[in-house]
Structure 1
Amino acid sequence: MKLDRIGREILRQLQDHGRLPIVELASRINLTKTPCAQRLRRLEENGVIRGYRADLDPDQLNAGHVLVVQVTLDKTSEDALERFNEAVRKIPEVQSCFMVAGNFDYLLKVRTHDIHHYRAVLGAQIGQLPHVRQTHSYVAMEIIKDEVTVPVQGDNVRLSSQKANT
């Protein structure tokens, strides 16, 4: 089902201002409170909105040191991939983990407070993940763009759920 203009605008507003009261959200999208709340609830029920989070400043929380790590596994059987995936989810310093196609198997985004902390995480956690054969680490010298928002664009946005249009 297609996501209409109002549904897209609700998503845009909430990505930028997640703590908007429903009355303010309704005002911004030119709806009354009740229909806005109903649309919002449907977006949540359909899984389009997965949750609400605070946008934290990593530098103030002593987690401003970012590394990108390429990981190559010794094998890529379904069992090996599942074991790696389950284990990597348990490392709090790993902020993102992507299985990729190419010359290596995974790409990790890791946050630590400094290079010494990263060295400890690499040796005691990342290097000990199931089936890790090799890692290559790249220190981010400057973060130019690090968005957590999802583009919500024109009419090409489609809901994967079979539920009613929001």
Structure 2
Amino acid sequence: MAGGVVATPRSCGASSSFGHHDEGQEPMRRIGIDAADVRILCALQQHGQLSKTKLSELVNLSPTPCWIRFNRLKKEGLIRGYHADIAVDKIKNFTKVVVTVSLKEHRKTDFERFEKHICQVDEVVECLATGGGMDYVLKVVTRSLVDFQQVMDELLSAELGIDRYVTYIRTREIKSSQPDLAKLMFEPDN
């Protein structure tokens, strides 16, 4: 697509690695998108699942071409699902902890073993592979601090090669939002 940008589909379980790239590993395939595609993605990000008519109105395209684009974006894996943003803190108090983890060894098999196990732990709601001092940043949500410690004890006893971890108890949320896709996709005019 002329004048388009390239986006990378990501999914929690799509790859055996959360960012550790090895020489022999294939790079992720890029998908070309244009401004109309970005408008569709922004509308879905802001409003969730929409009817064909409503989506076409929001992005200023006629319904059939809009729906063709939507189906292509979905088929390419850019639209992973629709989710409600539930204010769980209004239902019950939960313990939310950010945990940084460093592994003892840094072989591909070490990362894969850790990542495979983490994907099976329901209390870990987010896991990011990072460069720098720590290998991973986890977001863990449990009913209580006692439950959190039980999760950590289970991770340590699973022999995942954890060298050290540091915990940060969340006291309150200052900001939680989705990225501005239009701003990320296009270079500003200079």
Report if TM-score (shorter chain) is over 0.5.
yes
Does residue 33 (structure 1) correspond to residue 84 (structure 2)? The answer is no
Other-structure match for 2:152: 122
Other-structure match for 1:153: 182
Other-structure match for 2:139: 109
Other-structure match for 1:57: 87
- Residue 63 of structure 2 aligns with an amino acid whose one-letter code is K
Superposition RMSD in Å: 2.2
Does residue 8 (structure 1) correspond to residue 38 (structure 2)? The answer is yes
Once the two structures are TM-superposed, the CA of residue 14 in structure 1 deviates from its matched residue by 0.3
Q: 1:48 to 1:150 in 2, by over 3 A?
A: farther
Q: Which piece of structure 1 moves more, 45-54 or 108-117?
A: 45-54
Deviation >3 Å, runs of 4+: 60-64, 154-157
**More contact order relative to length (CA 8 Å, sep ≥ 6):** 1
Normalised by the size of structure 2, how large is the TM-score? 0.73
CA distance in 1, matches of 2:127, 2:81: 19
Once the two structures are TM-superposed, the CA of residue 60 in structure 1 deviates from its matched residue by 4.7
- Residue 24 of structure 1 aligns with an amino acid whose one-letter code is K
Once the two structures are TM-superposed, the CA of residue 150 in structure 1 deviates from its matched residue by 3.6
Identity of aligned residues (%): 30
Once the two structures are TM-superposed, the CA of residue 104 in structure 1 deviates from its matched residue by 2.0
Normalised by the size of structure 1, how large is the TM-score? 0.83
Q: 1:128 to 1:61 in 2, by over 3 A?
A: farther
Q: 1:101 to 1:154 in 2, by over 3 A?
A: closer
Unaligned runs of 5+ in 1: 158-166
Q: Which piece of structure 1 moves more, 83-92 or 109-118?
A: 109-118
Once the two structures are TM-superposed, the CA of residue 62 in structure 1 deviates from its matched residue by 4.2
CA distance in 2, matches of 1:136, 1:155: 31
Q: Give secondary structure in 2 for the equivalent of 1:122.
A: helix
CA distance in 1, matches of 2:171, 2:156: 23
Once the two structures are TM-superposed, the CA of residue 47 in structure 1 deviates from its matched residue by 1.9
Does residue 94 (structure 1) correspond to residue 89 (structure 2)? The answer is no
Per-residue deviation, residues 84-138 of structure 1 (Å, max 9, x unmatched)? 11001111111111121222221111111221221111112x3234111221111
Other-structure match for 1:164: none
Alignment of 1:45-84 (within 5 A): 45-60=75-90, 62=92, 64-84=94-114
Q: 1:7 to 1:50 in 2, by over 3 A?
A: same
Unaligned runs of 5+ in 2: 5-32
